[in-house]
């Protein structure tokens, strides 16, 4: 039986294998998207091909190798598990997963949903950014036009301040504190973006991250968690100024000024991936401990937990900013 309603979850994308070719393919598609890198093509294309990829692919492949789970990238692994948990929780909806770049393919997911009367598109980026959410929206629009797909599609711009999202983060923090003890500082680390996108595109990403931080901090403080809750931006890529402060700088500074125990949560990542498992839990852990810190704990992403399933169910049932395509 065809379901009347459809739900399309879209995450970023990840290499399909830990081979130089697969990683090169993934990075090429991702980094050629003008929502991600906006440099003029005649400058950026040769830089990417002759400078960035020959350096980045051999560097990043070792890190992907270490984090690979059951034959696939963690981002894909957790996103697939999430959709499998979500489908029985939303029995009247047909749930599909796609990636902006690579597989599962966005066009196939759209085609699978054409028999639904109403479809909700939820980009899995809690904080809107032109580099992620807008990239999904533009690609979906293009695919619909190019393939003459007839669907009734609405989208959720983001859910940075959705009460169920703040609740889910709060419970994740609570759980960490009850198993690891309360740290001296809780650091919220969000993926960074180039500063010029904030200025040129009126991207409100930073405001959306600040709002999540404020609401989560209020919730923690209202529930008797009395410690500094701060935020920073990670994963700087390439030259040029990115939004600040930088996560690694903050962790080094905290350790040098006497903070012994830090816990880090990455609220912008719906699924654990190279940027959390390697960059935060390995690279930034080392930075903190080498600078004199004593205890570091990375609080996992919501992944396929019941908290995440409930969160998405609530968002879909009470959507914020539902917009027509």
Ligand X SMILES: C=CC1=C(C)c2cc3[nH]c(cc4nc(cc5[nH]c(cc1n2)c(C)c5CCC(=O)O)C(CCC(=O)O)=C4C)c(C)c3C=C
Q: Which is nearer to ligand X, 11 or 120 (CB)?
A: 11
| CB of 171 or CB of 237, closer to ligand X | 237
Q: Sheet containing 322-324: which strands, arranged edge to edge? A: 93-99, 5-11, 118-123, 153-156, 322-324
> By CB under 6 A, what part of segment 126-185 binds ligand X?
129, 131-132
Please report whether residue 94 would count as binding Fe ion according to CB under 5 A: no
> Among residue numbers 298 through 317, which ones bind ligand X (CB under 6 A)?
none
269 binds, among ligand X, Fe ion, none (CB under 5 to 8 A by kind): ligand X
Please report how close the Cβ of residue 15 comes to Fe ion at its closest, in angstroms: 13
Rounded CA-CA distance 259/217 in Å is 19
CA dihedral of residues 256, 260, 261, 263 (deg, nearest 10): 0
Among 9, 10, 14, 219, binds ligand X (CB under 6 A): 14
Position 235 contacts Fe ion (CB under 5 A)? yes
Residues ≥6 apart with Cβ < 8 Å to 122? 7, 8, 9, 10, 155, 156, 312, 315, 316
C-beta of 41: minimal distance to ligand X in Å? 15
Does residue 191 touch ligand X according to CB under 6 A?
yes
Exactly one of 274, 299, 312, 316 binds ligand X (CB under 6 A); that residue is: 274
Count, residues near ligand X per rule CB under 6 A? 22
Instruction: State residue 242 phi and psi, 5-degree precision.
Output: -110, 165
**312/319 Cα distance (integer angstroms):** 10
Q: For residues 10 and 39, is the Cβ–Cβ distance under 8 A?
A: no
- Using CB under 6 A, pick the residue from 37, 136, 169, 315 that binds ligand X: 37
Binding-site residue positions = 191, 275
Q: How many CB atoms lie within 10 A of CB 178?
A: 9
With CB under 6 A as the contact rule, the residue among 269, 288, 296, 297 that binds ligand X is 269
Tokens of 34: 């003008």
Return the range that interacts with ligand X (CB under 6 A); candidates 96-104, 154-162, 216-224, 269-277: 269-277
The H or E element containing residue 77 is: helix 74-89
CA–CA distance, 268 with 150 (Å, rounded to integer): 32
Closest approach, Cβ 9 to Fe ion, in A, equals: 18
- Min dist CB 223 to ligand X, Å, is 27
Q: Which does 60 bind (CB under 5 to 8 A by kind): Fe ion, ligand X, none?
A: ligand X
Asked if residue 7 binds ligand X (CB under 6 A), the reply is no
| DSSP letters for 198-267 | HHHH---HHHHHHHHHHHHHHHHHHTT--S-EEEEEE---SSS-BSSSBHHHHHHHHHHTT--EEEEE-T
Which residue numbers belong to the known binding site for Fe(2+)? 191, 275
Given ligand X, Fe ion, none, residue 125, with its beta carbon under 5 to 8 Å by kind, binds ligand X
Please give the sequence-ordered ranges of beta strands (E in DSSP) within 151-269, or none if there are none: 153-156, 185-191, 229-234, 261-265
Is position 127 an interface residue for Fe ion (rule: CB under 5 A)? Answer: no
Return d(Cα 225, Cα 247) in angstroms, integer.
Answer: 22
Site for ligand X in 72-131 (CB under 6 A): 73, 75, 125, 129, 131
Cβ closest to ligand X, residue 37 vs residue 229: 37
Using CB under 5 A as the criterion, which residues of the chain lie in contact with Fe ion when the complex forms? Answer: 235, 275
Using CB under 6 A as the criterion, which residues of the chain lie in contact with ligand X when the complex forms? Answer: 12, 14, 36-37, 56, 60, 73, 75, 125, 129, 131-132, 191, 193, 205, 235, 237, 268-269, 273-275
């Amino acid at each position: 039986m065809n379901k009347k309603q459809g739900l399309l979850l879209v995450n970023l994308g990840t290499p399909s294998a830990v081979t130089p070719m697969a990683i090169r393919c993934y990075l090429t598609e991702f980094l050629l998207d003008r929502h991600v890198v906006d440099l003029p093509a005649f400058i950026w294309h040769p830089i990417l091909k002759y400078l960035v990829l020959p350096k980045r692919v051999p560097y990043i492949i070792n890190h992907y190798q270490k984090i690979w789970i059951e034959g696939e990238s963690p981002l894909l692994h957790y996103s697939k598990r999430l959709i499998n948990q979500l489908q029985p929780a939303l029995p009247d909806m047909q749930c599909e997963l796609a990636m902006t770049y690579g597989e599962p393919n966005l066009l196939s997911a759209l085609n699978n949903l054409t028999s639904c009367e109403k479809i909700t598109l939820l980009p899995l980026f809690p904080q809107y950014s032109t580099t992620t959410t807008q990239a999904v929206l533009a690609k979906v629009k293009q695919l619909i036009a190019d393939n003459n797909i007839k669907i009734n599609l609405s989208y959720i711009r983001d859910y940075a301040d959705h009460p169920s999202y703040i609740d889910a983060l709060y419970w994740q923090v609570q759980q960490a504190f009850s198993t690891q003890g309360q740290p001296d500082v809780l650091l919220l680390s969000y993926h960074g973006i180039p500063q010029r996108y904030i200025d040129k595109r009126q991207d409100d990403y930073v405001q959306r991250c600040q709002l999540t931080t404020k609401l989560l901090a209020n919730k923690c403080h209202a529930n008797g968690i009395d410690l500094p809750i701060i935020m920073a931006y990670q994963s700087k890529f390439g030259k040029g100024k990115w939004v600040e402060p930088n996560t690694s700088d903050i962790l080094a500074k905290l350790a040098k000024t006497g903070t012994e125990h830090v816990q880090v949560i990455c609220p912008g990542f719906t699924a654990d991936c190279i940027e959390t498992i390697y960059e935060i839990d390995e690279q930034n852990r080392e930075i903190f401990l080498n600078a004199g810190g004593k205890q570091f704990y990375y609080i996992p992403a919501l992944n396929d937990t019941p908290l995440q399933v409930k969160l998405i169910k609530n968002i879909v049932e009470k959507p914020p900013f539902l917009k027509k395509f």
